[in-house]
Amino acid sequence: MKIFQREQRSLFGEILDWMLTPLLLLWPVSLALTWLVAQGLANKPFDRALEYNAQALAQLVIVQRGKVQFNLPQSASEILRADESDTVFFQVSGTRGEYLAGERDLPRPPATDEDPPTGTVLLRDEEYKGIDLRVAYIWVRMPLPDEPSALVQVAETREKRSVLATEIIKGVMLPQFVILPLAALLVWLALARGIKPLHRLEERIRARKPEDLSPINHKDVPLEVVPLVDSVNDLLQRLHDSIATQKRFLADAAHQLKTPLAGLRMQADLAQREGTNTEDLKRSLAQIGRSSMRATHTVNQLLALARAESAVPAMQGCNLVRIVTEVVQDCLPRAMDKHIDLGYEGASAGTPGVWLNGNATLLTELVRNLVDNAINYTPSSSALPGVVTVRVQADHFGQILLLQVEDSGPGVPLAERDLIFQPFYRALGSEADGSGLGLPIVMEIARQHGAQVLLQDARPGHVPPGALFTVRFRAMPGQQ
């Protein structure tokens, strides 16, 4: 469990948390390990004394007249058992396990399949009458033929060992109660000093004016924070470019709207001065209608571009052929008024591979702007009609779906092919009606659909070469 619990995490608290939490979790482990080490250290001197006593008693086991005997003077027995803290027990057994001296019921060592080693003192922990004992025992080989070894055991309670282990624990752990809070304080101070550059960076950012989008200086910025600062600088640069684009867009929009609105005002003033002259009044009203239509078209295009740039479209399966044929049918009256042969060629609505993942409203806007652009810039007359052809082609293997709009107009010079996709740009020398927003709308909608827009001559080497716009979509997979 973490020490610090806050709804909003701070970097300082997060680092401090992950430094102190493991420290506190490891502290009980340290206590347990220290206890084990202290037990080992406490056992060593007392085990050595216990081994010495077992060896001393082993030397008193002798063979007399063919029998194993043990002779321990009373004074020696009293010295052996003399201990202010612990109780000492011993047992001597003959070669056949017969009792010779000491406690009769002291447990013997566990039986093993191997012959017990002789002459070596072994140690074990044992419980005797509910008391924990430390036992040293030694097998003593007797000079008798085909006889097993005699056994000497010396045991004592663990009181002295526990006292010594406790003293070792106190000596080791008590200083930790001082060191641990001191370590936590030093960690706190070190972290507070370490994040000061972040506070200075925060103060520099807060001191900025809203219009200041210049890059943040890397001075005094920690190395680990440099990628974050670079990312913020990149965001500031993109925001700066976006604001600059919006300012240019607003200026161009104001200029584009100013012309038709000024024309409306002029025609209205002229109509008022003409008084009762019916013919002149009709001409002025017709001009007012045309100017209002241009202003309305410009406003609609501005709204369409803003909608395409700002919206996150809801995508679903769309049949591109159906969208294209509906747009072509809607544009037929206008094309016929200009004596333009507008037609559709290519796949049918039921052809496999003509579906794509997109937004039907935006795709309709894209197709309409391409067709309107072709009609606007294709010169035509009753004697020499223009031609605008719309195609949809499906590549079943490459999962590619192509939309093409071809016209018989003057085409677009190479030098202007990138410029025409900028808002309000009009081809040089063009007298066609338009706001200069149709192709930017096409480019923005294509970008949102992950599509590419290509422009080339429809009839290279011919005059006029015409224009061929190709929009390359990724078809929806899994179509039959």
Task: Say which CATH number the domain at 251 has.
Answer: 1.10.287
Do residue 40 and residue 90 come from a single domain?
Answer: yes
Cα separation of 173 and 277, whole Å? 112
Output the pLDDT for position 322: 95
Residue 418, domain CATH: 3.30.565.10
Residue 463 lies in a domain: yes
Which residues lie below 8 Å from residue 218, measured CB to CB, with a gap of 6+?
A: 226, 229
Instruction: Inform me whether the pLDDT recorded for 479 exceeds 80.
Output: no
Helix-helix angle 360-377:278-310, to 10 degrees:
140
More confident residue, 199 or 318: 318
* Selection from 25-34, 56-65, 274-283, 434-443 with the highest mean pLDDT: 56-65
Residue 183 lies in a domain: yes
Residue 188 lies in a domain: yes
Choice among 56-60, 275-279, 305-309, 360-364 with the minimum mean pLDDT: 305-309
Cα separation of 326 and 343, whole Å? 12
Question: What average pLDDT does the segment 421-439 reach?
Answer: 66
What's the structural domain count of the chain? 3
Rg (CA), the chain: 50
Cα separation of 407 and 300, whole Å? 24
Residue 56 CB-density burial (10 A; 0-12 exposed, 13-18 middle, 19+ buried): middle
- Last residue of some domain: 253, 280, 310? 310
Output the pLDDT for position 439: 87
Do residue 371 and residue 420 come from a single domain?
Answer: yes
78: enclosing H helix or E strand: helix 74-81
Residue 129 lies in a domain: yes
Q: How confident is the model at residue 374 (pLDDT cuts 50, 70, 90)?
A: very high
Print the domain residue range for 290: 210-310
Output the pLDDT for position 1: 46
The two beta strands, 316-319 and 386-395, are unpaired
Residue 269 lies in a domain: yes
Helix-helix angle 159-194:11-58, to 10 degrees:
160
* Selection from 83-87, 295-299, 401-405 with the highest mean pLDDT: 401-405
pLDDT in tens, 93-120: 888 888 888 888 999 998 775 567 778 8
Do residue 258 and residue 325 come from a single domain?
Answer: no
- Last residue of some domain: 194, 228, 250? 194
Q: Shortest CA distance to 466 belongs to which of 455, 475, 458?
A: 458
Which residues lie below 8 Å from residue 336, measured CB to CB, with a gap of 6+?
A: 342
Do residue 332 and residue 214 come from a single domain?
Answer: no
Mean pLDDT estimate for the chain: 81
Q: Shortest CA distance to 369 belongs to which of 466, 470, 438?
A: 438
Do residue 31 and residue 157 come from a single domain?
Answer: yes
Residue 203 lies in a domain: no
The single-letter DSSP state of residue 350 is T
Do residue 23 and residue 131 come from a single domain?
Answer: yes
Instruction: Inform me whether the pLDDT recorded for 360 exceeds 50.
Output: yes
Do residue 246 and residue 120 come from a single domain?
Answer: no
Do residue 186 and residue 229 come from a single domain?
Answer: no
